[in-house]
Structure 1
Amino acid sequence: MTTITVITGATKGLGFETARRLIEQGHTVYAGARDAHRGEQAAKALGARPLLIDITDEASVDAAAQRVRAEAGRVDVLVNNAGIAGPAAPAGELTAADLQQVFDTNVFGAVRTTRAFLPLLQAAARPAVVNVSSSLGSLAINAGPAAHTDILQAWAPLLAYNSSKAALNMLTAVYAQAFPHISVVSVDPGFTATDLNGHQGTQSVEDGAAVIAAAATAGPGAPSPAFLGATGPVPW
């Protein structure tokens, strides 16, 4: 039986490369995209199924879940990958509206998507949710970045982005406790060169996607909740 996987933000970067890897491993991947044309192009290049989904729009997310339900009947793996960087201005200059925009995608978008696809995950034998986070969302690392140079490739005091990823990690922990039959993990792909950071990252998308794909294919017995990086656990 094929593994049904849904990946948000799959038209480029980490989402695209994760989709490619999982398809290579035999998954049937629904490649999520906000734009129908770009979604069709990416899906064609990947050999995936295009899935129109805007995670900031409840109706769009619900429609996407209904389509997957009609076609596949279940979801084995949900990868909440779509995210934005937000403003890089000093913390004291950011407004609540600045943070709200980032949280609407990075946090509330994951809530919308997880909630909509939850019945389909519950229909799977060994379901998993992979939340693409960042070591910048670690409370321990932000409290003392100099003590974690073994994990960090780069650190910056990005109020909106860092706090949104910390909130995403809390979603991971709470969903895992609420649904013990679903494996729920956060992953830190590292400082990867993507559009998110203007391609200033220190590693390739191939390197960054490896930990996402590994979490998506971990199977029974994998720790849940967990916060995982390329070299092992990341401190919460």
Structure 2
Amino acid sequence: MKTVLITGANKSIGLETARQLLQQGYYVYLGSRDMQKGRQAADQLKSEGLQHIEPVMIDVDSADAINAARRVLGAKTQSLDVLINNAGISGGFPQTSLETDPHVFRQVFDTNFFGVINTTQAFIDLLRQSPAPRIVNVTSGLGSLTLHTDPAWKYYHVKGAAYTSSKTALNAYTIVLAYDLRDTAFKVNAVDPGYTATDFNHHSGPGTVPDAAARIVKAAMIGPDGPTGQFFSDDNAPETGISPW
């Protein structure tokens, strides 16, 4: 049975991603920085008949918490097939380049960027033990520099200085990570779940949580002939599914 760790999986898109991967036969380690909420989420899925799930406490803002989670998983499994770096924060809006407090930038980057790096580096040894390891970095269409410079883009005026910058940085890290793992069985991709109605955006998005999660699941289950180092976005590139960086 393939194993997957999903950060920030106790609610919303992360929780639905766990549900869909459970339905596909994966054993899910449901990451949550609040263990009580993680247990509640796991119990919810178990009540649906999805039994192969365990909550794992992991706060991606804390290197100590990440390393502790690595030790916990290491005692449970010798390999990890999929890592989904889903945990993220917006930092609150509006965010202008001149008025947003630098503390907000640091806070958002700690979660959305450095948290991904720390988590990936902590679990890379378990991933290397998988015959077909996958890393999915959940990004945003707002991380595209190409689209942000196009006045015709539908989200051209949606510019959160801290959040947008953090996702652009995450995209850049994804490119380098995929390059560094290019001669291995790894597939490393960034996935934009789309503008989805969640509490992240006060349920203002037109997309649904199941559709958003399905995009992440698709990348997590990508086959050996699938691409690596790509930026998947059905929202920004409905014809090709590949967003410009």
Query: What TM-score, normalized by structure 2, do the two folds share?
Result: 0.91
% of aligned pairs identical? 44
Quote how far apart the aligned CAs of 1:145 are. Answer: 4.6
State which of 171, 179, 182 in structure 1 corresponds to 2:181. Answer: 179
Structure 2 counterpart of 1:164: 166
Structure 2 counterpart of 1:96: 102
Describe the shift of the 1:155–1:58 C-alpha distance in structure 2 as closer, same or farther (beyond 3 A): same
Describe the shift of the 1:123–1:61 C-alpha distance in structure 2 as closer, same or farther (beyond 3 A): same
Q: Distance in 1 between matches of 2:4 and 2:136?
A: 11
Q: Distance in 1 between matches of 2:113 and 2:58?
A: 16
Structure 2 counterpart of 1:190: 194
Q: Distance in 1 between matches of 2:151 and 2:217?
A: 27
Q: Distance in 2 between matches of 1:4 and 1:155?
A: 40
Query: Which has the larger displacement, 17-26 or 193-202?
Result: 193-202
Q: Distance in 1 between matches of 2:164 and 2:157?
A: 10
Note if 1:26 corresponds to 2:25: yes
Q: Distance in 2 between matches of 1:155 and 1:9?
A: 28
Quote how far apart the aligned CAs of 1:44 are. Answer: 1.6
Q: Distance in 1 between matches of 2:97 and 2:212?
A: 27
Query: What TM-score, normalized by structure 1, do the two folds share?
Result: 0.94
Q: State the one-letter code of the partner of 2:171.
A: N
Quote how far apart the aligned CAs of 1:155 are. Answer: 5.3
Structure 1 counterpart of 2:149: 143
Describe the shift of the 1:141–1:69 C-alpha distance in structure 2 as closer, same or farther (beyond 3 A): same
Q: Which 4+ residue blocks in structure 1 deviate beyond 3 angstroms?
A: none
Q: Distance in 2 between matches of 1:145 and 1:26?
A: 44
Q: Distance in 1 between matches of 2:198 and 2:79?
A: 31
Structure 2 counterpart of 1:115: 121
Deviations 1:48-68 (A, max 9, x none): 210100000111101111111
Quote how far apart the aligned CAs of 1:219 are. Answer: 2.0
Describe the shift of the 1:93–1:202 C-alpha distance in structure 2 as closer, same or farther (beyond 3 A): same
Describe the shift of the 1:155–1:82 C-alpha distance in structure 2 as closer, same or farther (beyond 3 A): farther
Q: State the one-letter code of the partner of 2:199.
A: D
Describe the shift of the 1:51–1:155 C-alpha distance in structure 2 as closer, same or farther (beyond 3 A): farther
Q: Distance in 2 between matches of 1:229 and 1:157?
A: 18
Q: How many residues align?
A: 231
- Larger helix share, 1 or 2: 1
Quote how far apart the aligned CAs of 1:14 are. Answer: 0.6
SS of 2:136 mapped into structure 1: strand
Within a 5 Å distance, the mapping from 1:34-113 to structure 2 comes to: 34-46=33-45, 47=51, 48-89=53-94, 90-113=96-119
Describe the shift of the 1:145–1:123 C-alpha distance in structure 2 as closer, same or farther (beyond 3 A): farther
Contact 1:83-1:106 at 8 Å conserved across structures: yes
Q: State the one-letter code of the partner of 2:78.
A: G
Describe the shift of the 1:155–1:30 C-alpha distance in structure 2 as closer, same or farther (beyond 3 A): farther
Contact 1:87-1:160 at 8 Å conserved across structures: no
Quote how far apart the aligned CAs of 1:96 are. Answer: 1.8
Deviations 1:168-218 (A, max 9, x none): 001100111111222110001100011211111111101111110100111
Quote how far apart the aligned CAs of 1:87 are. Answer: 2.8
Structure 2 segments unaligned to the other structure (5+ residues): 46-50
Structure 1 segments unaligned to the other structure (5+ residues): none
| Aligned-CA RMSD value | 1.3
Contact 1:30-1:51 at 8 Å conserved across structures: yes
